[in-house]
């Protein structure tokens, strides 16, 4: 419970625009995430990025990666994250967004949350996860991996990943796809060769222009073809 901050960007002159929730990286709702919201708004979407770290302080002011992991990311329970995204969706609906055409996308830490939300909300139309972890050790706050929950996917998910991402082995993506496919779920992966983690982050050295542009276009197509 409580109040969390969010950043929103709304398209000009569009009545009841479709809604896309944008889930932040471990760096919280900083300028890059806000810019992604504005890019989506220019495409005609109501974009909203809730700060899922808000209860623990302002993560955008923190530069120490260990603090971001231990004092912010590790403290967020999966249940709380789902509730906060639900709240952002409710806010967007009350603010004029069309949540009957609801999508979600997220990056890095937010990529995992994107997968979880596709397993959580039956009203979701489509999801696009950018390099979000799908496997990993269970913790009290994050008790289940994306793979373990894949049979419960409620919406089609597009996963955009880099083959040179040392933290996310391609074998875990293959395992996820197998579980989802056996359960009759729609999952598609694009794995870019020789491409690192965070390839869409145009403020970091990891930025890979060709993969970033291709992924953005695939994301737009995925949302359109799935009713967002």
List Cα–Cα distances, 206 to 90, 157, 159, 196, 199, in angstroms: 34, 24, 18, 6, 5
List Cα–Cα distances, 118 to 40, 65, 195, 225, in angstroms: 20, 27, 25, 16
37: annotated active-site residue = no
Phi, psi at residue 96, to the nearest 5°? 105, 0
Of the candidates 99, 104, 210, which has an alpha carbon nearest to the alpha carbon of residue 159? 104
Which is the catalytic residue, given 86, 98, 197, 202? 197
Whole-angstrom Cα distance, residue 46 to residue 101?
10
Phi, psi at residue 100, to the nearest 5°? -75, -15
165: annotated active-site residue = yes
78: annotated active-site residue = no
Which is the catalytic residue, given 35, 108, 120, 221? 108
Whole-angstrom Cα distance, residue 94 to residue 27?
28
Tell me the torsion sign for CA atoms 62, 63, 66, 69: positive
Whole-angstrom Cα distance, residue 77 to residue 116?
12
Residues classed as catalytic: 108, 165, 197
């Amino acid at each position: 419970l409580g109040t969390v901050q969010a950043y929103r960007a709304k398209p000009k002159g569009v009545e009841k625009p479709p809604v896309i929730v944008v889930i932040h990286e471990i760096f919280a709702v900083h300028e890059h995430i806000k810019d992604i919201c504005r890019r989506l708004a220019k495409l005609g979407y109501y974009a909203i990025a809730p700060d899922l770290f808000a209860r623990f302080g302002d993560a955008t002011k923190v530069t120490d990666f260990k603090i971001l992991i231990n004092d912010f990311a590790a403290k967020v329970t999966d249940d709380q994250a789902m509730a906060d995204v639900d709240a952002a969706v409710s806010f967007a609906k009350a603010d004029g967004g069309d949540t009957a055409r609801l999508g979600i996308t997220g990056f890095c830490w937010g990529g995992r949350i994107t997968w979880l939300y596709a397993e959580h909300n039956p009203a979701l139309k489509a999801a696009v996860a950018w390099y979000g972890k799908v496997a990993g050790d269970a913790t009290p706050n994050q008790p289940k991996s994306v793979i373990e929950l894949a049979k419960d996917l409620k919406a089609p998910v597009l996963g955009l990943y880099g083959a040179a991402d040392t933290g996310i082995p391609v074998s875990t993506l293959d395992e996820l796809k197998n579980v989802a496919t056996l359960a009759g779920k729609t999952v598609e992966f694009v794995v870019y060769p020789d491409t690192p983690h965070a390839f869409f982050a145009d403020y970091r050295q990891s930025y890979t222009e060709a993969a970033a542009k291709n992924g953005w276009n695939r994301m737009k197509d995925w949302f359109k073809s799935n009713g967002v």
